[in-house]
Structure 1
């Protein structure tokens, strides 16, 4: 688990002037997912610059290098098994991961995020059992921090994360709990050629071993975060494609999503939890 200091002038609170925020209205997506009409997912475009994304990745990789001449080390990502346990399951989740603990960097990211989260009302939760679960009925919470455990993820050569729900993280003192996930995309060009994506998917299905030799230096193809109402594709899938500097914020409770296979290139993301503290109902 890496940990190191962050330059004081890195990642100032002010976002790029072209940053914008929008909610994902699952009634108006293509295709719509009416089951999620009252669920929360938010896209913040251009939250980070390309230079900031590159520096985040450099910081994470540098934390794994013990010999200055050696390459960075990406461990295999694990899945949660409950009770704080984790296990390796490459059938469900297949990608590289660097765990980087930094409250300093988490605070800088939150300062950048906060104006946009306030704009869409995600900085607080008030009697929203569809977000908190039934235990949050009649209760109020306010965003207090980002989990300092930052998880950098690397997908290449057909790697993926099968459909799942994110679990809530409760701090050891049980004073704060996560209700939203933050994904920051560190590379990618956004929307992709859907026909090319379909052909790559079909090829991978007929030749599963072929994905091992996909061009990792090419333009990113695949790797979207895909929302669906079920484990099959019968109800339709809504995809958010990786784009440099884009942030995706979504509730952890009952919002099924996946990390689509990467068929070409390499996908880099940063994932962490948004932590909330209970406050008085007003």
Structure 2
């Protein structure tokens, strides 16, 4: 079932408070000098809370059938190569709705395009740190956002362990993704790190279940960049905030989705696609 969005939904004009900043990994807190030449930006207030809620509604509506009148969130899988996926909850533990929509992908790109131009990623010229060595001395132009919109829901201690995002190549081999677009659909931004660490320690010491209050204010669920798997201290956290978007290069940036200790976390991710010029 393909739900219909209001034609006026997600106009190109961003909300009045939209602003963005590039993460400087060399001077961030904590510092990650290993990533000093790698690219990530945070766009605040890119969407309104009402637009975020409507995206969740559209995703859930896409799962409805006459036989199943309630939304269906399936368990998220991981890529295992050769276009195949597998369930591996020790690595990725959350639920997902895959919603293919060229229309929504285009509307979202129209909203983001002025910022992507300002950030200098609408055109990639000789950027092997982003494209890999195969992209040396080559130029790529941004074509679109991947129409495969992946909506994710985390609750009850769910997480996504550290990983790198894979580049997606279209079946005709003409387009390839180089950046991830990660849209936070709920959350209030910065969280109390002391409360976060207390809750983490309580669970590590066997203090009961995580996330007994699913309706509570979101605690946990940050996207964390770290220099290596075994690193436990230097995690640069981007906390979910409704309407904010994290855009980062897929090559070489290790990151994970922190456990959710209270409430629910809703996100949507897609990819920025490019074609060689």
TM-score normalised per structure 2: 0.97
Matches within 5 A, 1:167-206: 167-206=166-205
How far apart in 2 are the matches of 1:196 and 1:209? 16
In the other structure, the counterpart of 1:243 is: 241
RMSD: 1.4
Is structure 2 residue 160 aligned with structure 1 residue 166?
Answer: no
The superposition leaves residues 123-158 of structure 1 with CA deviations (integer Å, 9 ceiling, x where unpaired) of 111111111111111111111000000000000000
Residue 177 of structure 2 aligns to a residue in which SS?
Answer: strand
> Structure 2 vs 1, CA of residues 21 and 214 (structure 1 numbering), >3 Å: closer, same or farther?
same
- 2: CA distance between counterparts of 1:46 and 1:133? 32
**1:189-233 alpha-carbon deviations (Å, 9 max, x no partner):** 00000000001111121227612x521110000000000000123
Structure 1 partner of 2:60: 61
CA distance 1:109–1:208, change in 2 (3 Å): farther
SS of the residue corresponding to residue 209 of structure 2 reads helix
1:126 is matched with: 125
Q: What displacement does 1:235 show? A: 6.0
Q: 1:129 to 1:69 in 2, by over 3 A?
A: closer
Deviations for 1:23-71, whole angstroms, at most 9, x for unmatched residues? Answer: 0000111110000000000110000000000000000011112148832
> Do the aligned partners of 1:24 and 1:42 also contact (CA within 8 Å) in 2?
yes
Q: Which residue of 1 aligns with 2:219?
A: 221
Please give the alpha-carbon distance, in whole angstroms, between the structure 1 residues aligned to 2:12 and 2:195.
38
> Given the alignment, which residue of 256, 259, 262 partners 1:258?
256
User: 2:29 matched to which residue of 1?
Assistant: 30
Q: Distance in 1 between matches of 2:63 and 2:71?
A: 6
Aligned partners of 1:247, 1:192: CA distance in 2, in Å? 17
Q: Which consecutive unaligned segments of at least 5 residues does structure 1 have?
A: none
- Whole-Å Cα distance in 1 between the matches of residues 156 and 140 of structure 2? 41
TM-score (norm. length: structure 1): 0.95
State whether residues 3 and 61 of structure 2, in contact with CA within 8 Å, keep that contact through their aligned partners in structure 1: no
Equivalent position of 2:229 in the other structure? 231
CA distance in 1, matches of 2:234, 2:146: 32
Alignment partner, residue 9 of structure 2:
10
Secondary structure of the corresponding residue to residue 210 of structure 1: coil
Paired positions, count: 277
Instruction: List alignment gaps of at least 5 residues for structure 2.
Output: none
Partner SS, residue 145 of structure 1: strand
